[in-house]
Structures are given as C-alpha cells and as structure tokens.
Amino acid sequence: MRSLLVTGGAGFIGANFVHYWLAQHPGERIVVLDALTYAGNLASLDSVRGRGELTFVHGDIRTPGLAESLLRESGVTVVVHFAAESHVDRSIAGPDPFIETNVTGTHELLKAARTVWLEEGRSSGKVRFHHVSTDEVYGTLGPSDPPFSEATAYAPNSPYAASKAGSDHLVRAYRQTYGLPVTTSNCSNNYGPFQFPEKLIPYMLVNALEGKPLPVYGDGLQVRDWLYVEDHCRAVERVILDGREGETYNVGGRNEWKNIDVVHLLCRLLDQVFRDDPALERRFPRSPAASGRPTASLIAFVPDRPGHDRRYAIDASKIERELGFCPLESFESGIRKTLSWYLANEAWWRAVLEGHHLRDRTAGP
C-alpha cells in the first residue's frame, strides 16, 4: 500500500489533492508537510484532519534532514511535491524566497529521496518522486504560436518562472545522474476551492463581493489556459500511477481565455446569482449587484506589470494519449462551482484575508 508525502498540502492545489486522494484511495497514508506561510491554511484540511490515514507536519521543505526523517519514519513511497512560492507579482517585488523555496527546497527533497530510497534501500516496492511545475517555465507565446509541448525550450520571464525552471532541471538531473524515479507535470492556470485570493479568479470574486475595484493589468488581453483544480488532481494521479519514469507531462484544459473575458464572465455570473438569491444582498451589501448595478462597473484598467507574459497555452496531447487524461469540467461549469464554493465559505476567505489562519498554526498531527 502506498504512503504519500505531500508537500504544500495545506495550500491551494495541495489541499485539493489531499481531499481527492483520500476519497479515491481510502486507507492509503498521507503525510502533509507544510510551512503554513500566508498561502497555507490548515482550515483547508479541516474536514479530513480527523482521519487516521492523515498526518500533518508543520515544517519547511528547506530544513535539512526533515524530509529525510519523514521518508524513513513514515515509510513514504511517493513524494508529491506541490510546495512552492508561486505568485509572480511577489517574485518581482522580492525574488529571494522563490529561489530559496523552489530551488533549495526542492533540492532538499531530492537529496532525501536519494538517501532513503536509493542509498539506504528503505523503500519496499515501487517508489516515485512527482514534481508539480508550471507552464510559465516556457515563457510566452504569440497569438498564432502553437501551444507549449514537452519539447518546448525553457524561456522563463519572471523570477518565479525561473525558480520553477531551476527546480525542474534539478529533478531531471537526479533522474539522469542518480537514477531517482521521478516524473514532472507542467500545468496551466488552476482555479477552484481553497485558492488564496491573490490569484485572478478568487481575487476578482472577493473584490466584487466587497464592492472593491477589479484591477485588470494593461489591456486585459493576456491569454491563459484554465484548468479546474480537481481535474489537475486527476492528472497528477494518472502520472503517479501510470506515468513513465523520467517523463514530463504537460497538463492543460485546452481552454484559452483572455483575462478581461474571464473577469466579464465572473461579473455576469455574480449578477445572475444575486438576482436568483435575494439573501446575498444582505450578506454582501457593498457589492454593486446587491443594488442592481452591474458588477462589471467595478472593472478598472491599471498599468501592466513588468515582464507580463502575453499568452500561455498547453498542448496536452501526450498525457491524453499515454494516460487517457482529459478534463471533466468545462470552464463555465468549473467557474460556477468555484463561485458557489466562495459564497458558501465566506468565513474561510475572510479569515485568510485577515491573517487569522496564520495565528492558528499547529505543529501537531
């Protein structure tokens, strides 16, 4: 039976993965390792923290020896590495934490897996180190360029993207040099429950509910390929179970949208749900939709950020062909689920925005 170490398992994608894996693989053990930075939230695991299969460890992947001891003590056979600093704007303002976490932290995990699995031979049966990366390592695309494939040359344009490219190269090097059984997935933009409200979709949703401006960078015509987070979790599952060792798999939704069109879609859906549910007017009185005004009236164009990539798009042919993966959610169905979740979990995102979750850290399981 597998035993997983999930790094960053209290973050957005990591928490969704933990929920998904426990539902799909009951009885398999999961150790969550998370530093609980501003984007990590134990409340995202509240509904599963009482399960005997789950252990939470408050710790930093950069700490020498920590991952090594967890691999030994818990008999870990699969590392699923989500932990990362991931916000581009923050990487522009201060790159150091991105290099330290995404490069140095990944290296600590790789060293631990090499020591315990290969040098000490403590693994019994099949082991796998799966590294979760991003499409941003490939740089930017022109309007008519073909989507990124696994053969696309790396050309990162932000400190965040460069740090993830560095971690990708380290993972590959540990396979080539030491024979560590690794896989990597490079995914397009995710959205869904538990996402910290600094990323586009939850940021716009929360601002709209609070009646705050909806700032759109530049002309808003930047294009992103969007994937619902549970579909991403399904893709990672397929790679862990059936992906070929040493291979990289690009994961995308074949779902390109301009940023401004995403914002307008969110505004239309918010207007609709306020019309359908009068109780929302009392819960969110500052939202323009509460008084019958269009939410889109909050849109405000702001100066573009430095090095803003124009277009991302993923060619997911390889994972579709080899592993039979395809997304189950359309963009509109996923957005509706996401909107419903944020409306139903107001206490979660208010606590996040006020930093309350940072004051509730725990080092225990």
Mean pLDDT score, 331-352: 96
Residue 145 has pLDDT above 60, yes or no: yes
Mean pLDDT score, 334-339: 97
* Alpha-carbon separation of residue 163 from 153, 197, 211, 359 (angstroms): 16, 22, 35, 29
DSSP 305: P
pLDDT classification of 154: cutoffs 50, 70, 90:
very high
Mean pLDDT score, 63-80: 97
What are the residues whose beta carbons fall under 8 Å from the beta carbon of 235, sequence distance 6 or more? Answer: 185, 187, 249, 251, 319, 323, 325
DSSP 154: P
**In 59-206, which ranges are E strands?**
78-81, 128-134, 182-187, 189-191
* Domains present along the chain, CATH in parentheses: 3-195+227-254+312-329+354-360 (3.40.50.720)
pLDDT classification of 358: cutoffs 50, 70, 90:
low
Min mean pLDDT across 22-31, 36-45, 141-150, 350-359 is at 350-359
Residue 290 has pLDDT above 80, yes or no: yes
| Structure tokens given for 202 | 């939850």
Q: What is the mean pLDDT of the chain?
A: 95
Residue 95 has pLDDT above 90, yes or no: yes
Taking the C-alpha atoms of residue 220 and residue 310, their distance in angstroms, rounded to an integer, is 10
Rg (CA), the chain: 20
- Residues annotated as part of the active site: 135-136, 160
pTM comes to 0.95
